[in-house]
Amino acid sequence: MKKILTITFIVFAVFIPLIFRTRPSLVYFINLSLIYAIAAQGLNLLMGIGGQISLGHAAFMAIGGYTSAILVMKFHTPFLLALIAGIALSCIFGLIVGFPSLRLKGFYLAIATMALGSVVTDAIRRLEITGGDYGLANIPSPQIFKFEFSSNFTQFYLILVLFLFTTWITRNFIRSKSGMALRAMRDSETGAVSLGINIANYKLLAFIISSAFAGLAGVLYAHSVTYLNASNFGLSFSIDLLAITIIGGLGTLWGSLLGAILWVLVRNFLSLAHLEVYAGIFFGIILIVIILFMPRGLSEIILRVKLLNRKKATT
């Protein structure tokens, strides 16, 4: 059943550019949703299994995006290398804040990443190479071995493949030894420790993977939106990413995509109606409602339908 759903999703997704052939701007929004979904997938992994919160994922996106954009624009590095460099740098920063804070019980990671977030945006504003307050504009589109992903349609396939890749990694991580160890810890910390599980290392691993996802999302954002500005990657965007993850459904594989699509759609709908200021209130209220009544977010709707079917089948 699950496999069929996944396959239909992929087949449907492959045809999306053909369906919306005449509406490139719509595909642009789909691309944006997929990019946010990649970052949210990282948070999903960190929160759903690691039981930790990061308030710095926007900063990791900024690190990835700026690294790659600067490498490509100022040093003419090939896109693939710049992509890897962007991801690597976010991993390093992830290690720097993750190592000291994840050895302790409690949400110290949230504090450390919040500090990282403010430092990163301040540094980007201050440095010259990042364009300071003006940001970076006209970032070239991604190019892999002479093939340039110049249109929204070609970019869609690139982003889709990478999104599926991150989902696949998430799925495998949950089922791997590390994932099992973390789930054991989430259910009973004393039990996990007495089995000789070194929790801190697994949490750190989950966090580094999750910051790598955010870095990847940042690189893709930089090269498909073609414009970067520090003010877009502040604390509030980190909170938005958390909201996307929870609204979509924590601990579910497709939840982050659902959340990201909803976020992008509502955002753009509101900005068409010149009501952007209400977006924060709207998502804040949705978030509270979801936490109170639907612990598994929007995915719960699908889940409930499935359960209903199963009940019918048994009776």
Partner 1 sequence: MFSLFFRGLATGSIYSLTAVGIVLILSTTNVMNFAQGDMGMILAFIAFVLLMSKMPYIVAVIVIIIIGIILGYFLEKGIMSRIRKTSHIAMVMITLALTMIFEGIVGIFVQTPLLFPAAIPGPPVILKGVVMDRQDLLSLGAALFVVTTLFLALYRTKIGIASRSLAEDEYAAKLMGIPVKNIYIFIWSTSFGLAGLAGIMVAPRLSLEPTFMVVVQLKAFIAAVLGGMNSVVGAVIGGLLLGVIENFVSFYIPQIKDSFSLILVVIVLLFLPQGLFGKKETRRA
Catalog residues that contact partner 1 under the rule CB under 8 A.
47, 51, 53, 55, 96-97, 100-108, 110-112, 114-116, 118-119, 122-123, 126, 189, 199-200, 203, 234-236, 239-240, 242-243, 246, 250, 277-285, 287-288, 291-292, 295
Helix orientation angle between 2-19 and 24-44, rounded to the nearest 10 degrees? 150
Question: For partner 1, which is the closer residue by CB, 27 or 97?
Answer: 97
- Taking the least distance from each CB to partner 1, the nearer of 69 and 241 is 241
- Residue 85 or 199: the one with the smaller Cβ distance to partner 1 is 199
Nearer to partner 1 by Cβ, of 191 and 295: the residue is: 295
User: Of 223 and 296, which CB lies nearer to partner 1 in the complex structure?
Assistant: 296
Least Å distance, CB 63 to partner 1, is 13
- Nearest distance, CB of residue 38 and partner 1, angstroms: 21
**Smallest separation, CB 119 to partner 1 (Å):** 4
Nearest residue to 45 (alpha-carbon basis) of 157, 191, 168: 168
Which run of H or of E encompasses 148? strand 147-148
Q: In 10 A of CB 307, how many CB atoms?
A: 11
To partner 1, the closest distance from the beta carbon of 149 in angstroms equals 34
Give the residue among 146, 140, 151 at the shortest CA–CA distance from 74: 140
Phi/psi of residue 136, nearest 5 degrees: -110, 135
191's tokens: 């039990």
Sign of the C-alpha dihedral computed for residues 61, 64, 68 and 69 taken in this order? positive
How near is the Cβ of 74 to partner 1 at its closest, in Å?
23
Q: Which contacts (CB < 8 Å, 24+ apart) does range 11-15 have?
A: 13/160, 14/160
Can you say how many angstroms the Cα of residue 7 is from the centroid of all Cα atoms in its chain? 22
Q: What is the DSSP string of 110-176?
A: HHHHHHHHHHHHHHHHH-TTTTGGG-EE-PPPPEETTEE--SHHHHHHHHHHHHHHHHHHHHHHHHS
Task: Kindly tell me which of 103 and 177 has the beta carbon lying closer to partner 1.
Answer: 103
Nearer to partner 1, 142 or 259 (CB): 259
**What would you report as the CA-atom Rg of the chain, rounded to the nearest whole angstrom?**
20
Q: Which is nearer to partner 1, 109 or 220 (CB)?
A: 109
Q: How far is CA 235 from the centre of its chain?
A: 15
Taking the complex as a whole, the smallest distance from the CB of residue 72 to partner 1 amounts, in Å, to: 26
CB nearer to partner 1: give 121 or 224.
121
Provide the b/e sequence for 96-132 (b: ≥16 CB within 10 Å).
ebbeebbeeeeeebbebbbebbeebbeebbeeeebbe
Q: Whole-number minimum distance, CB 153 to partner 1, in Å?
A: 34
Minimum separation from the CB atom of position 142 to partner 1 (A):
31
Min dist. Cβ of residue 26 to partner 1 (A):
27
Task: State how far the Cα of 267 lies from the Cα of 231, in Å rounded to an integer.
Answer: 17
